Structures are given as C-alpha cells and as structure tokens.
Structure 1
Amino acid sequence: MTPETRSPLPMASTGCACCAPAPAADQAAPTAGAVPSARTTATYQVEGLTCGHCATSVTEEITALDGVSEVHIDLVAGGASTVTVTAAEPLTTAAVRAAVEEAGYTLVTD
C-alpha cells in the first residue's frame, strides 16, 4: 500500500475574523509642493493584550484621541506589548492611559 500524499491547501485568510488585521485606511497622496506636517512618535507598554482583537480594541481607543494618525502594536501575548503612536502633537500619558483603560487594558509605567 502506497502512502497517500496530501498537498496543503492555500490559506484563505491570516486568521479568524476576531484576529484579522483591520483594513488599511485610504491615505491621500501628498500634493506637489505640499509641506509635510510635523509629527511626533511615542512608544508605550501595554499589558493584557492576547490577540488581534485586543490590539484592535486598543488601536480604536487611541486612534480616537485628537491628532493621532497611526497606531502600531507589537503584540506580546502574556507580556507587555509595545504600542507606537504617531500624532500631530505629543500626547499626554494621562490621555493614552485613559484610552488604554477604556479598552480594558493596563498602561505600564516605570
């Protein structure tokens, strides 16, 4: 009897609907001669994130803060995840803490 050879099926997605990455927002291309706006980037540590849904919840809350243009999360399940926030102006730690807590997680402070 010959062993059966099976080929893996192609992945239809990168995860379940809960953990699928959010679609990228359309970004307008800069116009010729436009002066790029000043931005500031800050990094925070957040505990309690375990999956893509957790990261999406935190991203939504932080993105709702005035001036925030981008949020990137390096998920570390079971540890402190790194959250990088780009905004037009520096954010206060209190504002970021409130957003993270609204999502149900904890901002780590030194």
Structure 2
Amino acid sequence: MTNPTRSPLPMASAGCACCAPAPATDHTTPAEGTTPSRSTATYQVEGMTCGHCASSVTEELTTVDGVSEVHIDLVAGGISTVTVTADRALSVEAVRAAVEDAGYTLVNA
C-alpha cells in the first residue's frame, strides 16, 4: 500500500488572495545577554467572517506606530483572537481605533 501524496487545500494554494496563508515570519531569538524590547498583547475582535476581514484588520493595525506583527486566529462569525506585537506597549485606544477603522468591534478591552 502506498501513501497518497498530500497536496495543500485548493483555497490555500490557488484561492482568493485574501484567504491565502500568511507568509512565514522570522522567529529568531535575540542575542544572548540582550533583552527583547517587544510587547505582545491579545485582543478579542467581533464580526470578522473571512480572510479578507482578517486582512483588513491586519492592514489597519500595522499602520499603528510601533506595530511589527499581527496574528489573527479567525473564528468566522464569532469572536476572533488578534495578537499584536509592537516595539513598545500600545494603548487599547489605539488598537480599538484601528479595529473600528477596519469595520469591526474590539470586545472587552
């Protein structure tokens, strides 16, 4: 018995641009003896339903001064988890404004 070759999901490889997988990120560690100056915070966002929604939120959040990375765990039609990494601590108001500019709601922050 042979193992069938596994191929990526059609949507992930040839689907719409908004639902394509995010590019790999560099997860290097800081040099020994240095302290990372990055801050990571997690927020709950309501109203996102697809990759395009996540892309819109990511685009708005990356315009906030200091934001270096955004990761979204999408729960279509539910409350999604948005993790924001920045060079410094961000105010909740700045994050809320960016999320609302994208058309979504920051929950319990």
* TM exceeding 0.5: yes
TM-score (norm 1): 0.75
Tell me the matched-pair count: 102
**Which residue matches 2:88?**
89
Unaligned 5+ runs, structure 2: none
* Aligned amino acid, residue 19 of structure 1: C
Unaligned 5+ runs, structure 1: 1-6
**Which residue matches 1:16?**
16
Q: CA deviation at 1:18?
A: 3.0
Deviations 1:46-104 (A, max 9, x none): 00011111101100100111111110000011211000000011111110000001111
Once superposed, what is the RMSD of the aligned Cα atoms?
2.7
Report sequence identity in percent: 66
More helix per residue: 2
Deviations 1:5-56 (A, max 9, x none): xx9995555132331134457x6x89x7895641110000000011111101
TM-score (norm 2): 0.76
| Cα distance in structure 2, aligned partners of 1:35 and 1:51 | 39
Structure with bigger gyration radius: 1
| Cα distance in structure 2, aligned partners of 1:13 and 1:100 | 26
